[in-house]
Amino acid sequence: MNIQELINDSQTTIVDVRTEEEFLEGNVRGSINIPLHEVVDRVEEFKKIQPLVLCCLSGNRSGQATDFLQAQGCNQVYNGGGWEMVDAQKI
């Protein structure tokens, strides 16, 4: 399954790891906001809501979160890159 199919799969949760303020300025329809600084403390929550596509502004923070979560045993976590790129692929 490619990233666009994942983004549009009803089973996939899109998580925006930007700050709450950034998220409120614009976000992917249906996404949830879990800021990067909260990821470490919420690993168990992430494990329960897989598959996941993470996004942020440019893909840097979501890449960090993806790498961390994969190292913690989350094997259905994908970096979607910037939220606007993810939003553009959402049908």
Catalytic site positions: 56
Token pair belonging to 76: 């259905």
Rg over alpha carbons for the chain, rounded to the nearest Å, is 12
